[in-house]
Amino acid sequence: MAADDEGPLEKHRPRPELATMLATEHWSLLGTRSMTWSEIMSRISILLTVMSALLVVLALFAQGEGFDRSLLPLAVCFAAASLILGSLTALRVGLASQEDAQLIRGMNRLRAAYVELAPEIEPYLTASTRDDQSGLMATYTLGSRRPMLVHIVGSTTFFVIVVNALVAGALGALVGALASTAGWVVAGSGVLAGLVWFAVQVEVSRRLFGRPMTDVRFPTRD
């Protein structure tokens, strides 16, 4: 039978190879996501290890030289180094989270293709088939209704931000101690430095994730 003489059923016959190609792409995105977060966890572990090592060195130095003001310059250097490493780590975690969101959106689109090929499987899917903000969050939370604030506070990005804010507060307090022996100066400079650094990091994260999604292909149905 000639190609032009094929009936409707013959022209639109099932193509199993499409499912194979979609599954290959799906596994590729899953592998990329796994490697990304493996890298992030390694970087966070390195950061915390370096911070712990610097504290140990500082404690050993203090045991040998005594706990006096001569220790402050070394403590300031260690705190500044920790803050630099922590800020770089926070930036990488933020970028990785942004990449992770795009990977999830890509997998949501693939699920939409699976449902198009076999509509009967849709009730059995836990993750979303939509690639807008609602679909992204539905996949992140696996369909459960979770407040956005809880999701943000429990994220890896927020954890690193809090660690960096604590280090910034310690650095501010140390600098204050170098400038003055007054307790209120030390406490005030520490609190101010921690809050300012926390606000800066939150704003950077907001700018990374606050961009509107302009390439939505499968919006959530009303």
pLDDT exceeds 50 at position 139: yes
The per-residue pLDDT for 8 is 43
Q: What pLDDT does residue 11 have?
A: 46
Least confident of 97-111, 171-185, 193-207: 171-185
Q: What is the pLDDT of residues 35-47, one digit of tens each?
A: 999 999 999 999 9
pLDDT computed for residue 19 by the predictor: 86
Does the pLDDT at position 222 exceed 90?
Answer: no
Indicate whether 3 belongs to any domain: no
Name the residue among 55, 52, 94, 95 with its Cα closest to residue 75: 55
In a domain, 165, yes or no: yes
Q: What's the average model confidence in pLDDT over 97-118?
A: 92
Report if residue 23 sits inside a domain.
yes
In terms of residue numbers, what domain contains 152? 15-209
Integer-rounded Cα Rg, in Å, for the chain is 26
* Phi, psi dihedrals of residue 210, rounded to the nearest 5°: -85, 0
Report the pLDDT value the prediction gives residue 1, as an integer from 0 to 100. 42
Does a structural domain hold residue 8? no
